[in-house]
Chain A
């Protein structure tokens, strides 16, 4: 996708966010909003910030399904960590290990690493070309990541682009 599509999409997104956050329909405020959106888009274009990483349009349609799946994972993982905290014996088993990341693009790896960190019980410590350095609270967390389900889903989300 070219700069024109990304630029237009960014300007529209910014204008919509301005309107949703202000809620005013006076000509002055709408004008100021359009002006700000246009200025920011122009600055971002000049700084060459608008590309598939800064404004990942290609993820728009696949992302919602992934979010639903991730929400469910987050709720499940929260339940496990809450159980551990409330257990009088505090049955933690902290471990550090690496898992392979099969994503081809940087943004795919970032999504994978952030999804891991967002799930309580696992934190991503470092990202390299081919794998991630993970700290997990329990053996279950390690097994869950090593099953590779999240890795596969993020790679599918990333697609071919």
Chain B
């Protein structure tokens, strides 16, 4: 009885985690520039990873596998913002200018025809 409940809960978590990863990928395709795309990628890094790993933890039960999954989540939550920050810094150093609201075409916000020179606020 309890194992059925745990199993369903685990599947619910795994499937919603997969949905988050899918939405994150859709966001990556829909966003107009590198910096806004990083926000979309953040969903897969955080909620997607948390939900998938939580679902796997319920499958693992009280075992050494559970400890390893907790460690994976722990290290992921420390390293992913660091990698994200490094990517943003590298893009800025490489001359990428973030697309900002004042330069967005308000009628068609995902238009690619934005000006190349974007002043910083």
Contacts and interface: CB of A to CB of B under 8 A. Distances in A.
The A contact surface, by secondary structure, is mixed
Given A78-B47, A81-B27, A125-B88, A120 B109 contact: no
Contacts of B64: 20, 23
Interface string B46-63: 110010000000000000
Contacts of B43: 78, 81-82, 85, 120
Interface in B8-24: 20, 23-24
Contact of A96 (B40, B50, B85, B98): B98
B77 A92 contact: no
A131 to B, nearest CB: 14
A20 B63 CA distance: 10
Q: How large is the interface on A (under 10, 10 to 19, 20 to 34, 35 or more residues)?
A: 35 or more
Contacts of A96: 98, 100, 120-121
A60 to B, nearest CB: 14
Interface string B30-46: 11110110111011011
Interface in A106-161: 113-115, 117-126, 135, 137
B121 A117 contact: no
A91 interface: yes
A73 to B, nearest CB: 10
- Contact residues of B: prevailing secondary structure: helix
A120 B42 contact: yes
B98 A94 contact: yes
B38 A125 contact: no
B110 A117 contact: no
B81 A81 contact: no
A121 B98 contact: no
A93 interface: yes
A135 to B, nearest CB: 5
A114 B101 contact: no
Interface of A: 17, 20-21, 23, 71, 74-75, 78, 81-82, 84-86, 89-97, 113-115, 117-126, 135, 137
Interface of B: 20, 23-24, 26-27, 30-33, 35-36, 38-40, 42-43, 45-47, 50, 64, 67-68, 71, 77-78, 80-82, 84-85, 88-89, 92, 98-101, 104, 109-110, 120-121
Given A85-B30, A122-B39, A123-B85, 10 more contacts: A74-B47, A82-B20, A92-B31, A93-B101, A96-B100, A96-B121, A117-B42, A117-B85, A118-B80, A123-B88
